[in-house]
Structure 1
Amino acid sequence: MSDDPLFQPAQVGDISVKNRIVMAPLTRSRAAAREVPSDLAPTYYRQRAGAGLIVTEGTQIRPDGQGYVSTPGIYSPAQLDGWKKVTDAVHEAGGRIVAQIWHVGRISHPDLIGGAQPVAPSAIRANSKTFLPNGDFGPVGEPRALTLDDIKAVVEDFGRAAKNAVSAGFDGVEIHGANGYLIDQFLKDGANKRTDEYGGPIENRVRFMTEVVDATVVAIGAGRVGIRLSPVTPSNDISESNPQPLFDLAVSELSRRKIAFIHMVEGATQGPRDIVPDFDFAKLRNLFGGTYIANNGYNGEFARERVANGEVDLVAFGRYFISNPDLVERIRRNAPFAEPDRATFYGGGEKGYTDYPTLEVA
């Protein structure tokens, strides 16, 4: 199988990977007290170290960046100690792992962030829900608009989170710029109604994203920085009236910064790939000079085809990595994928987390 395009090594910026299969970020809501990665997290990620690259679950850069119950952070010494156990386990198993660093912006609730008000580019409440500490799945809170000083502080905290990630042993970071969270809120006109230098024309709306990227590049180097984008997804009540020129500009700016990769949600997150049929993802791939990681609706055959044709460089799989810790081996053997138990996606312990079976050794 040495000629299988999915099993060729690749260079992703400064990160060498053994194959073209990526584990996508997957929120599991299993962090322990004080948003520290749980004692099960090293086992969970080590089991999946067959991937060429693992991207962790979304990991908040500071307390008010949290949007769901029991998601881990990357800002306290205890959290970094917890993540060091994860990175050590993955590296011992021969894997590579980057931390997905995020701030959820308006997709939060005061009960999750110490009674504070969620923040956003504009004071527009999202028609979205989240998991709360009392067990409810309820509407997100009313946000306040970030001031210019607030924006500067968030940018600095992204850079600090990147530095923390590398100190905890990560091979790099993926900035979460997708799925209706804070960076996506600044990018898209459905959530960004600002009239200052961060709002209005697309040149202004990409500014927050580029400042965050610049801060992480200064912190750890461009070759260890990637970003996830979702140009046309409606997730978390996000919308954009004219996505093609916006993302043409955004990706061009990212390419100029020579970051390691972009991780593209092609279509609606966990939904149809053709939700905006005339959107040109191939153009974005051609505009970007680094590694293009594709995500959404892939199986082994489709992934092989697109990598072989040079349409994408790597392919990320999400929910099937939940139920197939040996997903890479299943793709290698063309074996069927086990279906995940949706009831155990969020919260809980070993069940649906570290107890999925693997194939017998060939």
Structure 2
Amino acid sequence: MSTSKTHPSLKDTNLFKPIKVGSVTLQNRLAFAPTTRFRNTEDFVATNLQKKYYEDRAEKNGGLLITEATFISPQAGLYPHGPMIHTERQAKAWKQVVDGVHAKGTSIAMQLWHLGRAAYPDLLKKHGLPLLAASADYIDEESKQAAIKAGNELRAFTIPEIKAMIQEYVEAAKKAINIAGFDFVEIHSAHMYTLAQFIDIASNHRTDQYGGSIENRNRLTLEVVDALIEAVGAEKVGIRISPYVTWQGGSGADSELMHPIAQYAYLYSELERRGKEGKRLAYVHSVEARVAIGIDVQDAPQYSSEWVRQIWKGVLVRAGSYLHQDGYKNLINDVNGDDRTIIAVSRYFTSNPDLAERLKNGQELTKYDRTYFYAQTNYKYNTWGKFGEENKGEDSVEAKQEMVALA
């Protein structure tokens, strides 16, 4: 099934021009955005299925793959079959994935994840861990009842717990870079997970140095940024931000509490200030307004994310449902708009392992299948064909392949 009525070749756009990111030169400006798939073992170790999945998307690519969001520790939150980089074994398993991607000539970043109030309270309880967030404010009534039922009610981080979390980010980043061999780590400060919960006025009601003012609410994210710059170097650190998010209780574009530009411009400006001081991050990954609110800026220009480009002057990765539009007009406009933009794609990368080649050649895209996004099966994970090939069926040998830990 096609993604749009027309599929123009993008080979002559900036999308297929090299770009330097940190100390790495990418061969194109197409990134695989973080896409949760839950194909790890029960103890959160990378598997043979993941290795195949990332290698296939690295072949004839040369751009940047960003892994699915990966827990920095058990306290960061536990989802069944989710990825983690807390133990040496977990890091060594990821190294096999990284080595496979590098062998294809493609670069790879690991996204570092902490869930906060979005975690499963029962799984944390099972591991003897508390449910923590910026403040003791639940996402909704359903999440509140789940926490009460689990006997693990939400409470705010203490200052020592915040400091311990920052150190967990540091240790995870070191393992990702020094053991697993990732080119970059990406701090997940988006989509109303822990760091974004501290930033958003809707979820942060603290009265200490991590709450109240815009500066205080951004303090934790910037402390994590600074800690990782010191630990692995600014040229190996990226960050993802979603100013307009409404998911999981985010304020969103039309919040009566605070406009997203007011809430997030400070963060982008602080990242730019560090850049001017010689500590420029490899990239900033920004989620476009149309992803969060489903409105195209051409129809509602007040939701434009162009203000981000006016503040942050480094490499900007932009995620914005770019392949859902006929003729990829927004993609072409944004990637050609300057010489420092990378376009991130998520869902269509799941069903088109050769996406880079298809976009270069103007070939039709295969529609993804949400039904299997989070299934613990290889079917519709590693059974999608390249252009001109048939997809493997549910009864195929490939579909029945089981997960095996890489370490």
Q: Same fold (TM over 0.5)?
A: yes
Structure 1 residue 7 corresponds to structure 2 residue 19: no
| 1:126 alignment partner in structure 2 | 139
| 2:401 alignment partner in structure 1 | none
2:273 maps to a residue whose letter is R
Which deviates more from structure 2 when the two are superposed, residues 18-27 or residues 61-70?
61-70
> How far is the alpha carbon of 1:279 from its aligned partner?
4.1
Q: Return the alpha-carbon distance in structure 1 between the equivalents of residues 46 and 356 of structure 2.
A: 24
Q: Give matches, 1:1-362, under 5 Å.
A: 3-49=12-58, 50=61, 52-113=63-124, 114-127=127-140, 142-167=153-178, 168-239=180-251, 241-242=257-258, 243-257=260-274, 258-267=280-289, 269=291, 272-274=294-296, 278-299=302-323, 300-310=328-338, 313-360=341-388
Taking CA–CA contacts closer than 8 Å with sequence separation of 6 or more, which of the two structures ends up with the larger relative contact order? 2
1:17 maps to a residue whose letter is L
Q: Return the alpha-carbon distance in structure 1 between the equivalents of residues 293 and 362 of structure 2.
A: 24
Task: Decide whether the 8 Å contact of 2:37 with 2:375 is kept in 1.
Answer: yes
TM-score (norm 2): 0.82
| 2:398 alignment partner in structure 1 | none
Q: 1:128 to 1:223 in 2, by over 3 A?
A: farther
Q: Return the alpha-carbon distance in structure 2 between the equivalents of residues 51 and 260 of structure 1.
A: 17
1:179 maps to a residue whose letter is H
Q: Return the alpha-carbon distance in structure 1 between the equivalents of residues 346 and 292 of structure 2.
A: 9
Question: C-alpha offsets along residues 333-362 of structure 1, whole Å, 9 cap, x if unaligned?
Answer: 11111011111100222111111000149x
> How far is the alpha carbon of 1:274 from its aligned partner?
4.9
2:108 maps to a residue whose letter is I
TM-score (norm 1): 0.92
Structure (1 or 2) with the greater helix fraction: 2
Alpha-carbon RMSD: 2.2
> How far is the alpha carbon of 1:126 from its aligned partner?
1.1
Q: Return the alpha-carbon distance in structure 2 between the equivalents of residues 310 and 139 of structure 1.
A: 50
Q: Any gaps of 5 or more consecutive residues in structure 1?
A: 131-137
Q: Return the alpha-carbon distance in structure 2 between the equivalents of residues 215 and 226 of structure 1.
A: 13
Structure 1 SS opposite 2:318: strand
2:177 maps to a residue whose letter is V
Question: C-alpha offsets along residues 117-140 of structure 1, whole Å, 9 cap, x if unaligned?
Answer: 21101011112879xxxxxxx999
Structure 2 SS opposite 1:64: helix
2:82 maps to a residue whose letter is T
Q: 1:236 to 1:101 in 2, by over 3 A?
A: same
Q: Where does structure 1 differ by over 3 angstroms across 4 or more consecutive aligned residues?
A: 138-142, 268-271, 273-277
Structure 2 SS opposite 1:16: strand
1:176 maps to a residue whose letter is H
Q: 1:289 to 1:146 in 2, by over 3 A?
A: same
| 1:134 alignment partner in structure 2 | none
Q: Any gaps of 5 or more consecutive residues in structure 2?
A: 1-9, 144-148, 275-279, 390-407
Which deviates more from structure 2 when the two are superposed, residues 297-306 or residues 195-204?
297-306
Task: Decide whether the 8 Å contact of 2:11 with 2:359 is kept in 1.
Answer: no
